[in-house]
Amino acid sequence: MNMQTDNQYTLLRLLTEAQKHEVACICVSNGFDDPYGQFDVLAGFGEKTSFHSPEAISDTASLKMGFCSYDYKNKLEDLTSQHAQGVPIPDFYFFEPQFYYKKKREKGVHESNFSLPESVPFPQKKALAQFVCSTPRNQYLQNVEHIRECIKNGDFYEMNYCLQFESSTCLNPYALFAELNRTAPAPFATFFKYQDKFLLCSSPERFLAKRKNTLIAQPIKGTRKRQEDSAADLKVKEALSGSVKDRAENIMIVDLLRNDLSRVCHPGTVVVPELCKVYSFSHVHQMISTVTGEIKPDTGFSDIVRASFPMGSMTGAPKIQVMKDIERFEDFSRGWYSGCLGYWENGDFDLNVVIRSLQLDTAADKMFYHVGGAITFDSIPEDEYNECLQKAAGLMQALKNQEASNL
């Protein structure tokens, strides 16, 4: 059994365990190369203790897993959210798990304080999940033109503008995540269960990691759809690599992150070891940069969150002003989407960016997903809309596969 097949089998067993608990978190890296990653698989089940602020976490050493929703920005800055969340969740929630499973990258070492159950079939509803966008296509195109006008007037330089899609049918979250992870494997894939609310995330993006005294951020800006023909796919990848527009978007966010990290790092240590490198995933090519810095002494988790959250790749620049305008153009509250999710242990942490994700409310029988992209003055509304749909391709394929398996 190869590593990927072994990890998929382990995931099914962990999803089986998750059904027994009100709170659960499963993180899988799907075999992607990552010099900063520590785990192939990390999972926690059951709430021993909960934490509702970054300050509360910094005083302990044991494993914590959890999330920071996009709306936590309102506690960090003079900001508000007027729209309702599709799936209501706390702004900040981490938990110390009662049971944990760790598979480290180093030699695949396993560590667990419980016995994994054998996997069981996850029954799926015999229903179709039809999604409706809260913003009609023509309204989206008009809004992009309005955003471009704001940029022209100097209100901001770039905005990450997003759409919300809703379905009144909620599929089985355990079966759906297993299929999503098979269809669209990603290096920061995460399953999170919070009572009857679920986040199924196939994220390719790291928000922020801490390794000893080093902070690492890896923003994504620039996306192209994969092609079935290998020669055509290579051309698409090369076109993204050479795109002046995408490089400009990426570099703008890199500059923002350099500024964010400089608030908590030693002067002169914030560097960009990798700029605008194109990586390939199951359905898209993405342009990724890496920013690192050496942390000042006595800098806590809360200091780092305050300096850097939310991530610039999901807001735009300048960050505070553009977040105010996002509230004006979007007709929903992002909630989990554009937040971060991951783990904290012994002072180190690794947090993803919550994108390429499905949010499920099993009690309300609803599902949501969100997509978005960076709007600059050079943006073409039709192209931006098509890029949004490309980003959702992995989610939509997983849904189609689940529905086909029920016929």
Instruction: Give catalytic residues, as residue numbers.
Output: 205, 221
Cβ pair 159, 322 in contact under 8 A: yes
Cβ pair 108, 341 in contact under 8 A: no
In what helix (H) or strand (E) does residue 183 lie, and over which residues does it extend?
helix 173-183
Sequence-distant (≥ 6) Cβ neighbours of residue 61 within 8 angstroms: 345, 346, 347
- In 263-367, where does DSSP find H-type helix? 301-308, 319-329
Residue entry with tokens 């979250």: 173
Q: Which two tokens stand for residue 176?
A: 């759906």
Looking at the chain, the number of H-run helices and the number of E-run strands are 11, 19
Residue entry with tokens 């398996």: 405
CB atoms near residue 239 (< 10 Å): 13
Strands 220-225 and 197-203: unpaired
Q: What is the DSSP secondary structure assignment for residue 71, as one 8-state letter?
A: G
